[in-house]
Amino acid sequence: MTAEVNSEETQVVEVPVSQPEVVETVKVAEGDVDAKKGDEPKTEQVEEKKIEAETGSGDAVSVVSKSSSFKEESYFLSDLKEHEKKALIELRSKLEEAILGNKLFKEETKKEEKKEEETPIEEIEEKGQPVKEEEEGKLDEKKEEEKPAQSESEAEEKPSKGVPEKEKSVAEGEADKEKAAEEAEEVEEAEEVNVDISLWRVPLLPSKGAEGTDVILLKFLRARDFKVNDAFEMLKNTLQWRKEFKIDSILDEDLGSDLNSVAYMNGVDREGHPVCYNIYGVFQNEELYQKTFGTEEKRNQFLRWRFQLMEEGIQKLDFKQGGVSSMLQITDLKNSPGPSKKELRIATKQAVGLLQDNYPEFVARNIFINVPFWYYAFNAVLSPFLTHRTKSKFVFARSSKVAETLLKYIPAENIPIQFGGLKRENDSEFSVEDGIVSELLVKNGGKETVEIPVPEIGSTAIWDLTVLGWEVSYKEEFVPDDEGSYTVIIQKGKKISANEGPVRNSFRNNEPGKIVLTIENASHKKKKALYRFKTKASN
């Protein structure tokens, strides 16, 4: 027997749907592309065929395949190749010598500082700047030399005893000045040699023996294909850039909250990498767009805000040889402004260049989702500014493959519901700890059920469920243990389309029984269902 009850409707959240589908998801893994041989990148189609072969089905399979190649490169010395070890040792030596010899920062900066110190007295006087006492003596002496020659009668009228006293005073002044200059130079040299130079909280002086030093150096070496001189110059340029732009203090700056919806850190992936989401669709709001890119000053402020977010993400890294030292980037291009938006294009190009030059090997993967047609032309413009190593970490996903692609890298409980996962902001029901997600394969033309036992009267069961690609029929029922009782329909059977999000619902029982969730797949594709549940006893 069955009976219907009026329960609270299941919450439905719309999953982003991009512009027309463009290509299959492309995953270019490191080492897959050989520029000289012209090898083609691996595609999602190839991965699907592998799954088909394993399952013995010729159908297109919509089953999550966790990425087996997504491992951060090792920072253990024992795992490096011989030429990589040699390069690391050489870079350590160069860095040690540069720090102890005070040669880490560019010479041009020091010359400019010295030039400012040696500004001619005439320029100081012309600019109306105060003149130091020892410079005053030098100025008086110079003015005395420039006076017109005196006549013999005028010279005879002046006392002769004043001449030797003046010469003695000048000599003593010169000696004091030389001594003071030598002392100042010694103090300056002692002060300028800084052995505590660090980068991202990691000491850079190799002889200090900090575990993270080699991790930092290997990032620069890998970014420059283990060419020591190039890696060393890159490191020096990064330190100089950070100094000039005051990046070390950027976390203390209040850059506003207007862009919090544009990019943010949210959860971790399967390997523990912090995940950063970039949502460019919000710039369809013209007011926000102009406020962010309307002037050069605003664009520079946007860049500074983006560097601040990068530094916030780096705070979550540990820089240990076996630890996590890079992030996962997700860029959602749904409804993002097209390439006609010149200001956004300029700012993006600047950001890409500066992030690549000054944050080497900090992105483990860069996943682009809801990719529109125009992006490929835009990416072609940016491509010349990207290294092959950077481009090898790009993954592109069309709208219908968003959830499936992200699940290869991120567990469902850490993927926001708007991208097909089960994570809700400020969720009071499920936490990452107690929200273990199970998987269920629903064959084409088949039916599967999920059973949630509720043996105690007055218990409340709560569940989340999503099906990759949906296009299945779904219903929810409470089936009592007593055969003479009524089956309660919680949710009528209905077909759920591909653009609907995860289901969340709850039910409080009045007698022992179980809740049954039924998924019926009438399509020709296999489906993957993800679900979790918990029960709360009555108070």
Domains in the chain: boundaries? 2-15+433-536, 26-73+250-419, 77-109+195-244
Segment 151-177 shows an average pLDDT of: 54
H-assigned helices in 193-259 = 211-223, 228-244
Q: Whole-angstrom Cα distance, residue 335 to residue 371?
A: 10
Exposed / middle / buried, residue 519 (Cβ in 10 Å: 0-12, 13-18, 19+) = buried
Q: pLDDT at position 253, please?
A: 94
Q: Radius of gyration of the chain from Cα atoms?
A: 34
Q: What is the DSSP letter of 416?
A: B
| Mean pLDDT for the stretch of residues 211-237 | 96
Strand partners, 198: 203
% of the chain exceeding 70 in pLDDT = 68
Strand 472-480 versus strand 487-496 pairing type: antiparallel
Q: Which residues contact 285 (CB under 8 A, 6 or more apart)?
A: none
Nearest in space to 281 (alpha carbons), one of 323, 324, 332, 344: 332
Domain 26-73+250-419 CATH (choose: 3.30.43.10, 3.40.525.10, 3.20.20.70, 1.20.1250.20):
3.40.525.10
Q: Which CATH class is domain 77-109+195-244?
A: mainly alpha
CA–CA distance, 223 with 172 (Å, rounded to integer): 57
Tokens of 530: 């993800």
Average of per-residue pLDDT values in the chain: 78
State the average pLDDT over residues 286-298.
Answer: 92
Q: Which helix (H) or strand (E) holds 439?
A: strand 438-442
Helix (H) or strand (E) holding 88: helix 82-100
Where are any strands of DSSP class E within 281-348?
A: 327-332
Would you state the CATH architecture of domain 2-15+433-536? Sandwich (2.60)
Tell me the pLDDT tens digit for each residue of 497-536.
Answer: 988 889 999 999 999 999 999 999 999 999 999 999 999 9
Q: Which residue has the higher pLDDT, 172 or 67?
A: 172
Of 163-167, 305-309, 336-340, the poorest mean pLDDT is in 163-167
d(CA 351, CA 359): 11
- Evaluate if residue 494 carries a pLDDT over 70: yes
The predicted model gives 347-357 an average pLDDT of 90
pLDDT, position 168 = 56
- The pLDDT assigned to 530 comes to 96
| Chain mean position to CA 530 | 28
Over range 87-97, report the average pLDDT. Answer: 97
Can you give the pLDDT at residue 184? 58
Listed residue (106, 74, 55, 91) closest to 441, CA to CA: 55
Question: Residue 118: how many CB atoms within 10 A of its CB?
Answer: 6
466 CB-side CA count, 13 A:
27
442 pLDDT exceeds 90?
yes
Strands 202-203 and 198-199: antiparallel
Give the mean model confidence (pLDDT) for residues 377-404.
80
Topology agreement, domain 26-73+250-419 and domain 77-109+195-244: no
Tens-digit pLDDT profile for residues 236-291: 999 999 999 999 999 999 998 889 999 999 999 999 999 999 998 999 999 999 99
Average pLDDT over residues 81-101: 96
For the entire predicted model, the pTM comes to 0.71
Higher pLDDT, 182 or 54: 182
pLDDT band at residue 137 under the 50/70/90 scheme: low
Nearest to 13 by CA among 415, 444, 475, 525: 415
Neighbours of 538 (CB within 10 A): 10
pLDDT tier, 62 (very low <50, low <70, confident <90, very high otherwise): very low
Q: Cα(289)–Cα(305) distance, rounded to whole angstroms?
A: 15
CB neighbours (10 Å) of residue 9? 8
